[in-house]
Amino acid sequence: MTLNIAMLATGRIAEHELAPALTDAEGAQLWSVFSRDKDRAQAFADRHGAKSADPAHTDLDALLSDPALDAVLIATPDKLHAEQTIAAARAGKHVLVEKPMATDRESGQAMVDACAEAGVKLGVAYHIRWHLGHRALIDECAKGTFGELRHLRLQWSFPAPDASNWRAQPEVGRWWGLAGVGTHCLDQLRWFMRPHCGEIVEMKSVISNKTFGSPHDETAILSFQFESGATGEICTSVLFPGPRRFELYGADGYALGENTLGPTGDGTIVTHTGSFEYPTRNPYVGEIEDFVQAVRDDRAPEVDGEEGLRNVDLLLKAVGA
């Protein structure tokens, strides 16, 4: 069975990451495309080989009414996710939604509830989980290679030229750097630490937005404590360049990753024993294949709506909402 998936949005991530991954993912194919502009939707469908005989849509209900469509991949601005997810669920379509899944808890819960009521799968697209080096380190943590986990630090920054990015505006987003990359860092933090250290019991944040004057975060520094007493910290920014780093520390060892956070499956990892080798693979392909397998096996995707909603809760707490 091949899952026919519609792409909602034709922006940068959809163009350069998601559509190519759909082409390469086993068991999935691009079926149709939704955009506000018909010509843009048709051009996107043509470039990426959409399989539907009528692939380009500007009316979401019309796209969702296609009986051959199985699922949607939502890559629209953050504040549109809830309405589109609920519409897809009511039409009986499975949903893989880009992160963060929502901009408030009520909308996120409505997404979870709508998909549960319709009996369709809801996955949240945290492709960093499908970096094969990260997955190998998760296995090492389970084996006790690093001993009791004590601390995880993540830093991800990039320089924006000004506040023209849609994430810097309140109309369709709620966070800037935190939504662009910080939400991935939060997922990485919970993925690595929670199985060994319990839930987050304390969180503090410093948010700066004085350089561009955006109403949203320009630099965010977050600190955490887990039930075990282990700690974590995250730094995200749109104000300066730098390597994308994570640092994992345990009682018996450590792992340091450089440029493994990002759209590709490469970068370098070293541990207390030396270079940590791993195969490279497009992580977007991995997240799509997990979603396809979840539909086939009638199981939850690795990052389901409930986990996506916990991430939203932390994003809200970070900015005092």
> Do the Cβ atoms of 292 and 281 come closer than 8 Å?
no
Is 181 found in the same domain as 61? no
Q: Are strands 122-125 and 149-157 parallel, antiparallel or unpaired?
A: unpaired
Please give the residue range of the domain that contains residue 266: 129-281+311-318
Is 134 found in the same domain as 92? no
CA 234 – CA 246 distance, rounded (Å): 9
Q: Give the tens place of pLDDT for each residue, 233-274.
A: 999 999 999 999 999 999 999 999 999 999 999 999 999 999
Q: Which two three-digit tokens encode residue 198? A: 């319990």
Which pLDDT value is given to residue 77? 97
CATH of the domain at 78: 3.40.50.720
Q: Quote the number of domains for the chain.
A: 2
How is the chain split among helix, strand and coil, in percent rounded to 5? Answer: 40, 25, 35
Computed over every residue of the chain, the mean pLDDT equals 98
Residues of the chain above pLDDT 90, percent: 99
Which pLDDT value is given to residue 28? 98
Which pLDDT value is given to residue 121? 98
Is 120 found in the same domain as 191? no
Is 214 found in the same domain as 165? yes
Which pLDDT value is given to residue 321? 83
Q: Give the tens place of pLDDT for each residue, 147-172.
A: 999 999 999 999 999 999 999 999 99
Residue 66 belongs to some domain of the structure: yes
Residue 160 belongs to some domain of the structure: yes
Given a cut of 70, the residues of the chain with pLDDT beneath it are none
Is 98 found in the same domain as 49? yes
Is 253 found in the same domain as 174? yes
- DSSP run (H or E) holding 304: none
Q: Which two three-digit tokens encode residue 274? A: 């030396």
Which pLDDT value is given to residue 1? 81
Q: Which two three-digit tokens encode residue 179? A: 């939504």
